[in-house]
Amino acid sequence: MDEQQILKQLDRIKEIPTLPTIVFELNKYLQDPDTSIKTVCDTIEKDQAITLKILKLVNSAFYGFKSKISDLRNAIVLLGYNAVRNAIVSLSVISSFSNRVALMDFNITQFWKHSLAVAVTSKNIAQLSKKESPDNCFVGGLLHDIGKVIMAQYFHDLFETVWTTLQNEHISFYEAEQKKLSTDHTRIGSHLASKWQLPGGLVDAIRWHHEFQPESKHANFVRNIYLANFIVNSYDYDQELRLDLSKMHPEVVKFMMDMMEDVGDWYAGLTGEIEAAYGFFLESDL
């Protein structure tokens, strides 16, 4: 199958989870700062599960507010529209994809752990560089590898080929895709993200997180996700390992060097926040 055939097949698969209507609705409302808080509350309250999740989020260690918040309106005011929108999109994507059959020894909890680590790292890079919204970067990190899950669930043959190759040849998932397939998880994931009408920056971050494109319209956003994924992959593999800068895009190396003195120390400082994100987003799955 060539790439066009694969993407066409993806369009035809009926059971691929689509985000619930309420998520689309909120996504739209929450992007507009003029939407009244009443409209937002009324829409969220239509869905009991989302309401509970928002209250849980605002009271979780992840945000660390001191007093207990039991009212949805207060929760939205405290978190802000952007954080609420991102939390809703994140939770709904994780729950849409978590209970499906996994393939070979691909472990979905491990997958989300990696994604959450990239999400937290990317959010912190945004806080340091002050160029992008930290909340948007969190979602970008969370969704960057979504194409892998799609491949594992809907394109078994392709996934098995990649998995066998990476295990036999001790190379990365992406390297195995480049060797054996006519497409890869960045193309499949970004195709789906644009079908879900997610923001353009998110679509681009999913598409270019392994090959940074400085000329992209959303270059700053994409660079955050690319760098976060690079850091998480390097240090998760070996805490003592130094980053292999020759494999990183030169512009990103410079961006990183200007910002951090010691990347290893900086990343080690995020452990607590990464654990808190696991706790909130994965809960009973752990």
Give the residue with the Cβ less far from Fe ion, 174 or 255.
174
Which CB atom, from 224 or from 229, has the smaller least distance to Fe ion? 229
Nearest CA to 121 among 27, 214, 236, 206? 236
User: Which of the stretches 29-37, 139-147, 191-199, 276-284 binds Fe ion when contact is defined by CB under 5 A?
Assistant: 139-147
We find the least distance from the C-beta atom of residue 54 to Fe ion, in angstroms, to be: 27
Residue 121 or 229: which CB sits closer to Fe ion? 229
Residues 6+ apart with CB under 8 A from 208: 186, 216, 222, 226
Q: Toward Fe ion, which CB reaches closer, 30 or 142?
A: 142
Per-residue tokens: 47? 């869905």
Q: Does 132 bind Fe ion (CB under 5 A)?
A: no
Asked if 229 is part of the footprint of Fe ion (rule: CB under 5 A), the reply reads yes
**DSSP letter string over 14-39?**
TTS----HHHHHHHHHHH-TTS-HHH
* Residue 145 sits in the site that holds Fe ion (CB under 5 A): yes
- Considering the complex, state which of residue 196 and residue 226 has its C-beta at the smaller distance from Fe ion: 226
Write 192-200 long-range contacts (CB < 8 A, 24+). Answer: 192/10, 192/16, 192/146, 192/147, 192/150, 193/143, 193/146, 195/11, 196/18, 196/19, 197/24, 197/27, 198/89, 198/143, 199/136
Question: C-beta of 144: minimal distance to Fe ion in Å?
Answer: 6
Compute how many residues bind Fe ion; rule: CB under 5 A: 2
Question: Shortest approach of Fe ion to residue 45 CB, angstroms?
Answer: 35
Nearer to Fe ion, 81 or 174 (CB): 174
d(CA 23, CA 11): 20
Which residue from 173, 171, 172, 208 is spatially nearest to 187, judged by alpha carbons? 208
Q: How far is the CB of 256 from Fe ion (least distance, A)?
A: 17
Least distance from Fe ion to the Cβ atom of residue 66, Å: 34
Task: Give me the least distance between CB of 186 and Fe ion, in Å please.
Answer: 6
Q: Which residue has the tokens 């309420």?
A: 22
Binding interface with Fe ion (CB under 5 A): 145, 229
